[in-house]
């Protein structure tokens, strides 16, 4: 077995002194693996994936991302953020910048790429999410589904090794969910390592290698999608599934 690209070993995290939000998290993700994370609101899903790009710190255990051990080392945090792209529920685009400027900002200022190259790369990624014709527009001139695809393209401009998605379709009108999921499915098919917090179970069935079910800060179950849906292993997963399906 090759080394996992993400490895949590007995990771524990508290918010403040007494809120134990992640409990003994053990999780290995192989390169190219697609993981869907689900579970009730407040179970720690966002906190878990935010640890992977060091948006959250943890107090105990070990987390290694693409060979870099995350701890208090600021340099490690910087290195990891360049390898890990993240897409949020609220698209988090800069409203005063055009689509093109949103995509070239970080490659130019953090990646030190010349403007022309950054723009070429941005155009490639916009084509990949099928929105190249909107490059000169401002985010608020686009639909929610288009904005989310721009956010995905922006993350891809940094050539990430891992993509994190935190409920990327939850803020979208129903008719726009598919256009975003289609882009995510394509990414998955191209071999991207993905951790997706989502309750879109159709997506989980279509592309996930495993589904992880979290409750109260713990990973309660990790299973193949087919088995998770048809034969969940715990009372808590059964109860959750009965509410969302």
Contact 37, 49 (CB under 8 A): yes
Per the listing, tokens 């890990």 go with 84
Torsional sign, CA 196, 29, 183, 132: positive
Among residues 46, 125, 146, 169, the one that binds ligand ADP under rule CB under 6 A: 46
The whole-angstrom separation of Cα 228 and Cα 234 is 10
Cβ distance to ligand ADP smaller for residue 39 or 139: 39
Based on the shown chain and the rule CB under 6 A, indicate whether residue 191 belongs to the binding site for ligand ADP.
Answer: no
What is the closest distance, in whole angstroms, from the C-beta atom of residue 90 to Mg ion in the complex?
12
- Which of Mg ion, ligand ADP, none does residue 21 bind (CB under 5 to 8 Å by kind)? ligand ADP
Cβ distance to Mg ion smaller for residue 46 or 198: 46
Among residues 7, 46, 53, 147, the one that binds Mg ion under rule CB under 5 A: 46
Based on the shown chain and the rule CB under 6 A, indicate whether residue 198 belongs to the binding site for ligand ADP.
Answer: no
Backbone angle region of 12, left / alpha / beta, with phi > 0 → left and psi within -120 to 50 → alpha: beta
Based on the shown chain and the rule CB under 5 A, indicate whether residue 43 belongs to the binding site for Mg ion.
Answer: no
Which residues of the chain form contacts with ligand ADP (CB under 6 A)? 15, 19, 21, 39, 41-47
């Amino acid at each position: 077995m090759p080394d996992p690209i993400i490895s949590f070993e007995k990771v524990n995290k508290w918010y403040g002194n007494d809120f134990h939000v992640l409990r003994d998290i053990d999780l290995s993700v192989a390169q190219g693996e697609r993981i869907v994370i689900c579970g009730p609101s407040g179970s720690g899903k966002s906190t878990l994936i935010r640890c992977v790009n060091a948006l959250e710190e943890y107090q105990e255990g070990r987390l290694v991302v693409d060979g870099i051990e995350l701890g208090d080392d600021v340099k490690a945090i910087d290195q990891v953020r360049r390898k890990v792209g993240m897409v949020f529920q609220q698209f988090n685009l800069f409203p005063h910048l055009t689509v093109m400027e949103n995509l070239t900002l970080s490659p130019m200022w953090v990646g030190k790429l010349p403007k022309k190259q950054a723009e070429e790369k941005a155009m490639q990624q916009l084509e990949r999410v099928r929105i190249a014709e909107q490059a000169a527009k401002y985010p608020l001139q686009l639909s929610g589904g288009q904005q989310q695809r721009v956010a995905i393209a922006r993350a891809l401009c940094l050539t990430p090794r891992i993509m994190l998605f935190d409920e990327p379709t939850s803020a979208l009108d129903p008719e726009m969910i598919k256009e975003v999921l289609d882009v995510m499915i394509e990414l998955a098919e191209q071999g991207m390592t993905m951790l997706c917090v989502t309750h879109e179970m159709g997506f989980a069935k279509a592309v996930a290698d495993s589904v992880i079910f979290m409750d109260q800060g713990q990973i309660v179950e990790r299973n193949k999608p087919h088995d998770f849906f048809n034969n969940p292993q715990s009372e808590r997963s059964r109860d959750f599934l009965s509410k969302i399906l």
